C-alpha cells in the first residue's frame, strides 16, 4: 500500500537540462514537502506546500522551483541542472487535523546525478 | 530555527543493549516526532509525542519530552541488528502551514 510515490528511483541528467521530479500522494494530505539529503548534512528542506497553489520556501530554495496544481501532486523543478544539485531527493506529505500537523509519509527517494 | 538537533551524531552498541538518543530544539512546540531512515530509503515515522505528554511508549520504543528544557529522548530497548539506521527528530510548532524540518540525525549501528 504505497502512499507517497516519487516518479523515479534513479535519474541521470546533463548540466543545463530542465529537470522535473514528481511526487504523488493518495492520502488527501494538505502538506507536501521536498528535501534533499547529502552526506553529513542531514535532510534540508527545499520547498513545501500547505495547499493547492500555495508554496513556501524552505531552507535551500535557490536553483529550485515547485508546482502544486492539484492536491495530490507536488513537483520539484530544477530550471537548469548543475552538478552541485546531484543528491538524493525526498518527498513527503502530512495532514493538518485538529490544529496539529500529523505524521509525515515519505516517498522512496530519487537519486539524481547531474553530469 | 525550528529544526531539532540530535545527539550523539553516531552510536554503536551490541545487540541486546539499549540505545538512547537525544533531541534538543529552540522553539515552543505542539508535538515532536521521531523518524527512522534505513540506508538509502525514505524516512519512516516512529512515534509522535504531544506537548502535554511527558512520556510515550510504542513496543520497544520509549520517548520522553521535557518542554521546560526543550528536549526529547528516544530509547530503544533490547536493540536488534535491524534497528541499525539513522534516527531523526522533528519538533512541530502549532498551527497550519508549518515547515517540517530535520537535523543531521543520529546514526545507530547495532552489532551482532
Q: Does A58 touch chain B (CB under 8 A)?
A: yes
What is the CATH class of B5-111? mainly beta
- What CATH architecture applies to the domain A4-114? Sandwich (2.60)
Average pLDDT, chain A: 93
Residue pLDDT, tens place only, B57-85: 999 999 999 999 999 999 999 999 999 99
The span from the CA of A103 to the CA of A36, in Å, is: 19
Pairing mode of beta strands B106-111, B85-92? antiparallel
Single out the residue of A30, A20, A2, A112 nearest to residue A64, CA to CA: A20
Among A10-19, A90-99, B94-103, top mean pLDDT goes to A10-19
Domain ranges of chain B: 5-111
Asked if residue B96 has pLDDT above 90, the reply is no
pLDDT digits (tens, 9 = 90+) for A57-86: 999 999 999 999 999 999 999 999 999 999
Per-residue model confidence (pLDDT) at position A33: 95
- pLDDT tens by residue, B4-54: 899 999 999 999 999 999 999 998 888 999 999 998 788 999 999 999 999
Q: Is the pLDDT of residue A6 over 60?
A: yes
pLDDT of residue B95: 63
Does B2 contact chain A (CB < 8 Å)?
Answer: no
| Interface probe, candidates A61, A104, A109, chain B, greatest B C-beta count within 10 A | A104
- Residue boundaries of the structural domains of chain A: 4-114
Burial category of B76 from C-beta neighbours within 10 Å (exposed 0-12, middle 13-18, buried 19 and up): buried
Amino acid at each position: 500500500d504505497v502512499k507517497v510515490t516519487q516518479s523515479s528511483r534513479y535519474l541521470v541528467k546533463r548540466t543545463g537540462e530542465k529537470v522535473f521530479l514528481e511526487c504523488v500522494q493518495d492520502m488527501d494530505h494538505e502538506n507536501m514537502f521536498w528535501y534533499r539529503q547529502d552526506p553529513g548534512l542531514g535532510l534540508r528542506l527545499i520547498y513545501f506546500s500547505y495547499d493547492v497553489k500555495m508554496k513556501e520556501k524552505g531552507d535551500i530554495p535557490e536553483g529550485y522551483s515547485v508546482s502544486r496544481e492539484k492536491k495530490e501532486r507536488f513537483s520539484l523543478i530544477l530550471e537548469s541542472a548543475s552538478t552541485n544539485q546531484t543528491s538524493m531527493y525526498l518527498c513527503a506529505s502530512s495532514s493538518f487535523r485538529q490544529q496539529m500537523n500529523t505524521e509525515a509519509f515519505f516517498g522512496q527517494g530519487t537519486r539524481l546525478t547531474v553530469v | 530555527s525550528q529544526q531539532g538537533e540530535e545527539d550523539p551524531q553516531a552510536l554503536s552498541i551490541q545487540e541486546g543493549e539499549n540505545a538512547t538518543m537525544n533531541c534538543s530544539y529552540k522553539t515552543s512546540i505542539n508535538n515532536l516526532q521521531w523518524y527512522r531512515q534505513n540506508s538509502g530509503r525514505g524516512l519512516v515515522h516512529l512515534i509522535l509525542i504531544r506537548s502535554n505528554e511527558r512520556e510515550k511508549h510504542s513496543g520497544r520504543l520509549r520517548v520522553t519530552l521535557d518542554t521546560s528544557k526543550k528536549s526529547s529522548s528516544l530509547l530503544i530497548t533490547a536493540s536488534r541488528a535491524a534497528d541499525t539506521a539513522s534516527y531523526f527528530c522533528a519538533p512541530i510548532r502549532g498551527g497550519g502551514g508549518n515547515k517540517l524540518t530535520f537535523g543531521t540525525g543520529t546514526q545507530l549501528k547495532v552489532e551482532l
